[in-house]
Amino acid sequence: MDDISLPDDHVLLNFPPRLRKNIKEIWKDGKIGISSKSMKVHVNPTKASDDYSVIYKDNFILEIPYAGRALYWEVMFKDEDYGYPPDFDFPNDSFLFDPDIDTISAHMPSLANWNINNSKSLISVIRELMVLYKKYQISRLQTDNKYSALYTEYQYLISETNDAENIEVYIDNGGTVHFFICINISFSDLPPYVQPMLIGKADNVLNPNEDTATLRVALKPDSSKVQSDLQLSPRLEQVIGSASTLHIPTFNKDSNNLLDYISQITTLLEERVEQISNNYKLKNEYISFIISVCGCNIIEYDSTLFSKVVLLCEVNNFYTLVLIQIGNKFPQEKPKVTLRSIYHLQHDKPFVHNLDNYPYSPRWTPEEMVKRLITNLKEEIPNFQVICQKLAAS
C-alpha cells in the first residue's frame, strides 16, 4: 500500500481529473484535530489493464490522526459521474453503523449540498464527519455506566475551560479511555529549529511542522493504573528537551482531577518556555552588542542560536583570536572566553588560554557585560602575549 502524504504531481494523476482539486485540498489543508500529523490518502497501486486504458482510482482510504491513533475511512465516488457526492464507509468501527435517516441532511450540510466544483467540499465533509465522530465517542462515554466517573470528570473539564475543541476522547476495545489534550501555549518566542546534520546522507530539508504539545492520559475505569505522557513536536523537543527530561508529574487518579493535572502541566511548560525564550533573547542582545561595538573585529558569529562569537583583537600590534561561547544557562552561567594565539603552537595546536576571571555578573545588562569584557580584554591580551612569548622561549 502506497501511502501518500506529500503531493507530487504524478500522484494526483491517479485520480480522476474532476476530483483532483478536492483531493489536493486534503494535503494542502490536512491538519485536522489536535495532532500535528495531517491526513493521508492511501492508494492501492493499480495494475495495468490489458487494453492499456486509463483506470482511475475513485475509491481510496483516508488515514486520519485522532487521539494518538489513526482512523481509516473509505471514500467512494461513483464512476458514472464523478460529480455525484461520495459515499463513506467506516470499516472495523461501529461509528455510524446504524445511521439515522437525517444523519446527512442534518449533520453534514456539505454532503447534502455537494458541489464538485468547490474544491473545499471533500475536506468540509471530512471535518463534519470528525465532529460526529467526536460526539460518538463522548456518547459512548456517557451511555456506558462504567465510565460514569470519567464522564463527569470530562463534563467538569469542559464546563471549566469551555474548550471542547482541544480535547479528543477515544475508547478502545480494551475499555481504556484515552484523553488527548492539547496544551495551549504560545511557542513563538522560542529559538528556531536547527536540523541536525546527518553525516553521510543527502541534506533534505525536513519540515518540523507546527509546534504542538499534547498530553495523553489513558485511564482504565476499574483499575487505578494510569498512563500519562506528553508528546512534543520536533522543534519543541529539541529546544525544551524531551518529555522525560522535563520530569512531568504522573497523574494520580485519586488525588487530583484532570483539570488540575492539566493546569499543572501547562504551568510547568509555560515556565520552561519562558525561561528558554528569556535566555534566547539575552543571548541575542549580548551578541548584538558585541557586533555593534566590535563590528570590524568579527570573524564569525552564530546568527541562529547566538551561541558563539569569534573576534580578532589587536593590542599594540599583537593580534589574538577571542572566542566567546555562550551556554544554555546564560545569564546565570558566565560565557566562556578563550584567547587563541595565531603565532604560537603548543603540541601542534594553536596555544589556547581560558579567561576565567573577567568581570561578570548575571545582574548586569548585556550592554554592561560587553563593555566590561572589552575593557578587560584590553588588559588581558598583553598578559596573554607575555604568556605566549614565555611559552615560545621555553
Partner 1 sequence: MTETISVSVSGSAFALLLYENIKNEYDQDGFLLGNVISKETNKLTDADHRVVNTEHILKIKSAVPCPQQFYFYDSSGKVDIDKIKRYLSSQETEVIGWFLHKRKRSPSSIKLNLREKIIHKQLANYFCAQVPYFSCCLLSAECSNIKSTYSFCQTFVRYNMSKYENLPLHIINLSDPCYTFKTTEPASEVFSQVIKSVRSSGDTEGHLVIKKVQDTLQEYMKKMVVESAKKEQELFKLEQEIKQIRCNEILKREYGTKESDQSAADSEILENGTPEYPENESSENSQTHVIDNSSDNPKRRRGRSRKQNSVQNNNSVSPIKNCDTVDLNTKENESSTLKQNRTRSKANISYSEIAQKRKN
Asked if residue 9 binds partner 1 (CB under 8 A), the reply is no
Q: Is the peptide bond before 7 cis (omega within 30 degrees of 0)?
A: no
Interstrand relation of 226-232 and 2-4 (parallel, antiparallel or unpaired)? unpaired
Amino acid residing at 55: I
* Identified binder of partner 1 from the candidate list 3, 17, 195, 252, rule CB under 8 A: 17
With respect to partner 1, which residue has the nearer C-beta, 15 or 286? 15
With respect to partner 1, which residue has the nearer C-beta, 98 or 203? 98
Q: C-alpha cell of 224?
A: 487505578
Instruction: Provide, rounded to whole angstroms, the least separation between the CB of residue 42 and partner 1.
Output: 16
With respect to partner 1, which residue has the nearer C-beta, 85 or 331? 85
E strands along 18-100, which residues? 40-43, 59-66, 69-76, 87-89
With respect to partner 1, which residue has the nearer C-beta, 55 or 149? 55
With respect to partner 1, which residue has the nearer C-beta, 101 or 393? 101
Instruction: Provide, rounded to whole angstroms, the least separation between the CB of residue 23 and partner 1.
Output: 14
Angle between helices 20-28 and 121-143 (to 10 degrees): 60
Site of grid cell 495551549:
184
Helix (H, G, I), strand (E, B) or coil at 88: strand
Instruction: Provide, rounded to whole angstroms, the least separation between the CB of residue 21 and partner 1.
Output: 10
User: Are residues 359 and 372 in contact, defined by beta-carbon separation less than 8 angstroms?
Assistant: yes
Cα–Cα distance for residue pair 30/3, rounded to 1 Å = 14
With respect to partner 1, which residue has the nearer C-beta, 97 or 200? 97
Asked if residue 144 binds partner 1 (CB under 8 A), the reply is no
Cα–Cα distance for residue pair 297/317, rounded to 1 Å = 14
Instruction: Provide, rounded to whole angstroms, the least separation between the CB of residue 276 and partner 1.
Output: 48
Question: What DSSP assignment string belongs to 129-182?
Answer: HHHHHHHHHHHHHHHSGGGHHHHHHHHHHHHHH--GGGEEEEE-TTS-EEEEEE
Asked if residue 164 binds partner 1 (CB under 8 A), the reply is no
Instruction: Provide, rounded to whole angstroms, the least separation between the CB of residue 173 and partner 1.
Output: 19
Site for partner 1 in 27-66 (CB under 8 A): 49-51, 53-56, 59
Instruction: Provide, rounded to whole angstroms, the least separation between the CB of residue 111 and partner 1.
Output: 6
Site for partner 1 in 80-109 (CB under 8 A): 80-85, 87-90, 96, 98-101, 103-105, 108
Cα dist from 84 to 76, 89, 126, 177, whole Å: 10, 16, 16, 38
Cα dist from 331 to 274, 304, 362, whole Å: 14, 18, 5
Asked if residue 206 binds partner 1 (CB under 8 A), the reply is no
Stretch that binds partner 1, among 73-81, 234-242, 320-328, 342-350 (CB under 8 A): 73-81
Asked if residue 79 binds partner 1 (CB under 8 A), the reply is yes
DSSP 36: S
User: Are residues 59 and 79 in contact, defined by beta-carbon separation less than 8 angstroms?
Assistant: no
Instruction: Provide, rounded to whole angstroms, the least separation between the CB of residue 15 and partner 1.
Output: 11
Instruction: Provide, rounded to whole angstroms, the least separation between the CB of residue 150 and partner 1.
Output: 25
With respect to partner 1, which residue has the nearer C-beta, 78 or 329? 78
Cα–Cα distance for residue pair 140/119, rounded to 1 Å = 34
With respect to partner 1, which residue has the nearer C-beta, 87 or 160? 87
Asked if residue 348 binds partner 1 (CB under 8 A), the reply is no
Contacts to partner 1 by CB under 8 A: 16-18, 49-51, 53-56, 59, 76, 78-85, 87-90, 96, 98-101, 103-105, 108, 111-114
